[in-house]
Amino acid sequence: MQAIEKLRSEMEQNKNHRYIQIVGNFLVQYVTKNTAAAERILTEGKTIKGSLNDMKNEARKNQMDGIGVLSDEEGFAVVLKYYGITTAGTLASSPAPEKAAVNFDVSLDDLL
């Protein structure tokens, strides 16, 4: 798929840029699950690095004491918006963070 090739090429050219790798991997996973979004990734002049600039500008809008931060969901939403990809409110089709398994086993007798 051309969109994934474009993303991987930029990632390869910026191997030591941690954030290009993170956003690039997110976009590769997103496009794999949402193939209709691939044409947006191919838009001339749109790059992972350009999406990072949009994230930086968005974080600046909400900064306090000189610090601007976005949650993962907010940041990835900015990236998708940069590419012109619309989502239905949430990033339900984006990769979900893994949750730790909790082993909780208790019986009524244990409580009495």
* Amino acid sitting at position 18: R
Q: Where do the domains of the chain lie?
A: 2-86
**Helices and strands (H and E) in the chain: how many:** 6, 0
Residue 89 Cα to chain centre, angstroms: 14
Distance (Å, whole) CA 37 – CA 103: 39
pLDDT per residue of the chain (112 residues) written in tens, 0 to 9: 899 999 999 999 999 999 999 999 999 999 999 999 999 999 999 999 999 999 999 999 989 998 999 999 999 999 999 999 987 554 544 454 445 555 556 556 655 5
**Residues forming beta bridges with residue 64, ordered by sequence position:** 67
Percentage, residues of the chain above pLDDT 70: 78
| Average pLDDT of every residue of the chain | 86
